Chains A and B, each alone.
Chain A
Amino acid sequence: MNSLALSDGVLLIAALVIIMKPSASTGLRLSAAVFGAAALLGVLRFSTLLPLPGMHSFFSGLGASAAYPLLAAAFLWPDSAVAQSWRFASIFLIISGAFGLIASALEFSLWGNILAMLSVIALLLRSMKDRDVMAVIGSGSLLAALLLFSSQFSLPPALQPGDFLHLFMALGLTLMATRSLRFPQQTTSAALTGVNLAPMD
């Protein structure tokens, strides 16, 4: 058992909490499911219980190129069909995942990183505009996760770069999910017809 398995475990728990939270938007829950799948595979890999590195890399890549943009879309447009409906969130995930696979096939490895970074920056700007302190801290944590990981920051021997990614992501996702507690989700019907019953600001 190493620190990566433990920190992936923390991320897995955070993802499970969000997935099981009925008040969280569908888009948020689906993106948490992808992050959760990657975290579960990470726990299995780094604990050496069942190392499936290929599958872990795939879900990590899917998280970067599809789940981050889905999270951002669900947050930026909370009334949209992508945020509210499983069908449209899945379509979004599949299409953005397909572009991620094409980028991966073409060896354009920066694609996922760029999309993840842009998504998190968009989340941060929107949170600041909304003056939502929790969301600012949450999106700031997500940004810190990406920056620390890409700079390969570590605190040997305790924490590796991947640990910072996992732990800050867990914190960030949890804080982002609390938004739905403070701004309850509209009914699906109202959201899809565009009738705004609960203003965000």
Chain B
Amino acid sequence: MPEFIFSPTIVVIPLLICFVVIELGISRLLGRSVYKFQDSITSINIGIMSQFVNATGAIISAFMYAIIQAKYGTFTWDLTSPFTWVFSLLLYDFMYYWVHRTGHEVNMFWASHITHHSSEQFNLSTALRQASTGFYFKWVFYMPLAILGIPVQVFVIIGLIDLLYQVWVHTQLVGRLGWLELFLVTPSNHRVHHGKNDYCIDKNYGGVFSVWDRLFGTYADERSEEPVRFGIKTPLNSWNPVWSNLHYWVGMFRKAGAQSNWRDKLMCFFGEPAWVPGSNPAEVTAKSPLTEQSPLTEQQIDADSPALIRLSGLLMTIVSAGLLVLYLGSKQQLPPLVQILVVIFAVLVFASAGLLWSKESKGGAAHE
């Protein structure tokens, strides 16, 4: 039996789920309806699954960073100096802006990041809805830090701070924050980022600081006269964690396969998400309009799922969160092959549960 080893991630996961429960309680007290049961359970399950995958996938990022830093790292940094930490946070956040912007504006990267935006709700559980497929490209954007020689431990801690800061901005319970809106990412300007209203598209990419958006012209303030509608223009309409990660990839490959020339095939992957075959990529400015028909109506999506489905969803979340904590605590002692098998097993369990929920809730209709 492998020995259990504590790590910050293990503490963070139950803590984040507690925050979700607290926000749910406060919203009930305030009489605000910001949670839909099945949507939030799906968000948490997507988050848990992404941690299973990324616990192994993130090694790629740290591995690449460590090697490049050791090989090309230019300067020596004093870990006790506040300058090291402040500079690293600023540079990390600047690079995060570009990772995030690329994640929205290049189709094959949007295919990963879309998972995070696929919820029609906006609350702390949405923050947990993270992609399982994004680790393959993000690391390259942080290489400038490695080349400057910023130590791996600073990179990891700053990355964690940047990530954790972004959790609390996923809420509708906090309004505008006055002068802080000028330079920080706040719940208000992050609501805009998650909106599918036209004025919200491709706006507010910052992680901690919104100054990057102001500098590069991607900032938009929340409009009181036009409430933000959350989600993506073609709704996911699925409670399947695996499908939420794969649906856009499948569509993208199908679209590329249908093109007759290489230019259009490549544009399906590297063009903007709104690009349509035959159009001029330079003239594409906004994501596709809300014209595609969704397989379910909004009423169907909003309707409560059957009690048994809700119970199974809740149980699945509790059990998988426990298993994730156990896995993260013992994975360093497991051989890589066993780690991969555990991850595959976890994904298959989520896939089968997701299929079951989808069929039961839609009266047998396949979500595709």
Contact = CB atoms under 8 A, between A and B. Distances in A.
B224 to A, nearest CB: 34
Interface stretch (A14-22, A53-61, A126-134, A138-146): A53-61
A159 B183 CA distance: 53
Interface stretch (B10-18, B22-30, B69-77, B308-316): B69-77
Interface stretch (A90-98, A116-124, A150-158, A161-169): A90-98
Interface string A177-195: 0000000000011001110
A54, A88, A97, A189, most chain B CB atoms within 10 A: A54
Given A58-B72, A80-B263, A105-B71, 15 more contacts: A57-B72, A81-B281, A85-B281, A85-B282, A91-B106, A91-B270, A94-B140, A98-B140, A104-B71, A105-B67, A105-B68, A189-B280, A189-B282, A192-B280, A192-B282
Interface residues of B, number: 22
Interface in A53-73: 54-55, 57-58
A54 B71 contact: yes
B49 interface: no
B63 interface: yes
Interface of A: 52, 54-55, 57-58, 80-81, 85, 87-88, 91, 94, 97-98, 101-102, 104-105, 188-189, 192-194
A158 B340 CA distance: 57
Contacts of B283: 189
B263 A98 contact: no
Contacts of B141: 94
A189 B67 CA distance: 42
A192 B267 CA distance: 11
B95 to A, nearest CB: 12
B143 interface: yes
Given A54-B147, A91-B270, A188-B282, A102 B106 contact: no
A91 B282 CA distance: 15
Contact of B68 (A81, A104, A194): A104
A58 B280 contact: no
B68 A192 contact: no
Nearest to B283: A189
A55 B149 CA distance: 10
B150 to A, nearest CB: 12
A101 B64 contact: yes
